[in-house]
Chains A and B, each alone.
Chain A
Amino acid sequence: MNFIRKYYYGDIPEDKAGEMSEASKELTKTDWPLWEIFIRSKQGLDHKHAGSLHAADAQMAIENARDVYTRRMEGVSIWVVESRYIHASNPEEAGSLYEPANDKVYRHPTFYDLPDEVNHM
């Protein structure tokens, strides 16, 4: 990995930095659990993923989320979910997962040709 030796702003290119030790996975266990934070910015809107943080329990996760993600009135409601409970689709399967929707243009209103006289449709 010797080829990234260029020293850019904010990146001090030392050999060892950025390398994860084998112990990293073990250390993860001693960190407080990671929580994903969802915030409703305004009454009537969906909760949206804002980021994540560490907390010992749900109550603390909500309190920390308030301090970390809503210092400027960004939210009126917070959901927290422990990250390990989130299941995600596999990016490698994205093709086969979404491809079936690709050829179904008739699901879109623009597929249908109607005379100009038809209003409000």
Chain B
Amino acid sequence: MPSITTEDLFQQKIDSEIKIEPKDWMPEAYRKTNVRQISQHAHSEIVGMLPEGNWISRAPSLKRKAILLAKVQDEAGHGLYLYCAAETLGMSREEMINDLHSGKAKYSSIFNYPTLTWADMGAIGWLVDGAAILNQVMLCRTSYGPYARAMVRICKEESFHQRQGFESLLILSRGTPEQKAMCQDAINRWWWPSLMMFGPKDSESTNSDQSMKWKIKRKTNDELRQNFVDMCVEQIKILGMKLPDPSLKWNEKTGHYDFGEIDWNEFWNVVKGNGPCNKQRLDARKKAWNEGEWVRKAAAAYAEKKTGKQKAA
């Protein structure tokens, strides 16, 4: 009888949809992939607050300001759920943050684009959160338990993000000619970067599908991207706006919309750190971390003093 390895047993668990929990045995590469992916995801939520934070003080009404604040606060929460999920794999919070600041860990490139007008808040909610939701709904069934549970929590909160964005665009789309133009302009600028969020084409990667086999990922980039395009083509009709792609066309044979070629040069450029805001985003994160240092120290000192008093009493 061929002997069954721990690795085989692990794969059997995955195949029968049994979740992997922190203390369970796992291959080192599984741990590493999860740490990388979950911490990148956490960083994306945190850095993702910056482009939107830019507009909190300039929201056009108190209502919109309250909504935007609530959304940005949710993103902070998402980052925290995810950092904790990554920590269950043994990496310290501080190391993750150091890796973000040193550039060793990445975050989603979409947040390296600037938010130029108020309409960008709508476009981000509709397109960027919309694209993120497709990925996150899939990840609710990912094989690592703490990651899957964090995703369930996040997905419950995300649908408000997308809806508020779409509603905000809807109002602009029914407004003055200037508002309409602003709405269309934001869609034009965010459409292609949103498609890039799904990552390179499946045909670009010739390598093995380990993440799929381990059920960390359950759908390919192209599948998710196609879902997204099909959804948006219908939704934009309600806005009475246009997606900036002349090649968009219904394909009878595939039952999906065909779309134009993505500018992959731009994609790789932004990944490599040369996007319009890469430096600005990292600088903002480092500044926040450094300026918070005295708070972290003071709180730790206060806690220590209190436990000291309790022991003395």
- Which one of A1, A9, A60 lies within 8 Å of B299 (CB-CB)? A60
- Which one of A6, A10, A23 lies within 8 Å of B135 (CB-CB)? A10
- Residue ID in chain A nearest B37 by CB atoms: A11
* Contact status of A7 and B200, CB under 8 A, knowing A17-B106, A32-B299, A51-B81: yes
Please tell me if A4 contacts chain B, counting CB pairs below 8 Å. yes
Q: What is the size, in residues, of chain A's interface with B at 8 Å between Cβ atoms?
A: 43
Q: Which residues of B contact A30 (CB under 8 A)?
A: 94
* Contact status of A28 and B44, CB under 8 A, knowing A9-B197, A13-B36, A57-B306: no
Q: Is the pair A31, B106 in contact by a Cβ cutoff of 8 Å?
A: no
B window 67-94: CB within 8 A of A: 70, 73-74, 77, 80-81, 84, 87, 90-94
Please tell me if B179 contacts chain A, counting CB pairs below 8 Å. no
* Contact status of A16 and B91, CB under 8 A, knowing A7-B205, A8-B217, A71-B74: no
Q: Which secondary structure dominates chain B's binding surface?
A: helix
Instruction: Give the distance in Å from the alpha carbon of A53 to the alpha carbon of B84 in the complex.
Output: 7
- Which one of A6, A12, A17, A88 lies within 8 Å of B99 (CB-CB)? A17
* Size bracket, chain B contacts: 35 or more
CB distance from B94 to the nearest CB of A (A): 4
* Contact status of A1 and B28, CB under 8 A, knowing A9-B224, A51-B84, A68-B80: yes
Please tell me if B245 contacts chain A, counting CB pairs below 8 Å. no
B window 21-66: CB within 8 A of A: 21, 23-25, 28-29, 32-37, 39-41, 44
* Contact status of A71 and B73, CB under 8 A, knowing A6-B210, A10-B135, A34-B87: yes
Please tell me if A103 contacts chain B, counting CB pairs below 8 Å. no
Q: Which residues of A contact B294 (CB under 8 A)?
A: none
- Residue ID in chain B nearest A13 by CB atoms: B36
Q: Is the pair B205, A6 in contact by a Cβ cutoff of 8 Å?
A: yes
Listed residue (A27, A32, A56) with the most chain B CB atoms within 10 angstroms of its CB: A56
Q: Is the pair B29, A4 in contact by a Cβ cutoff of 8 Å?
A: yes
- Which one of B93, B95, B296 lies within 8 Å of A20 (CB-CB)? B95
Instruction: Give the distance in Å from the alpha carbon of A6 to the alpha carbon of B92 in the complex.
Output: 26
CB distance from B292 to the nearest CB of A (A): 12
Please tell me if B284 contacts chain A, counting CB pairs below 8 Å. no
Instruction: Give the distance in Å from the alpha carbon of A5 to the alpha carbon of B208 in the complex.
Output: 8
B window 204-237: CB within 8 A of A: 204-205, 207-211, 217, 220-221, 224
* Contact status of A9 and B199, CB under 8 A, knowing A32-B299, A51-B150, A57-B302: yes
Please tell me if A19 contacts chain B, counting CB pairs below 8 Å. yes
Please tell me if A14 contacts chain B, counting CB pairs below 8 Å. yes
Give the 9 A-B CB pairs with smallest separation, nearest first. A18-B36, A56-B299, A57-B303, A56-B303, A27-B92, A28-B92, A5-B207, A12-B106, A18-B35
Offer 16 A-B interface pairs, CB within 8 angstroms, sorted by A.
Answer: A3-B210, A4-B208, A5-B207, A7-B200, A9-B221, A14-B104, A17-B104, A18-B34, A24-B90, A27-B94, A27-B95, A28-B92, A30-B94, A32-B299, A34-B87, A57-B303
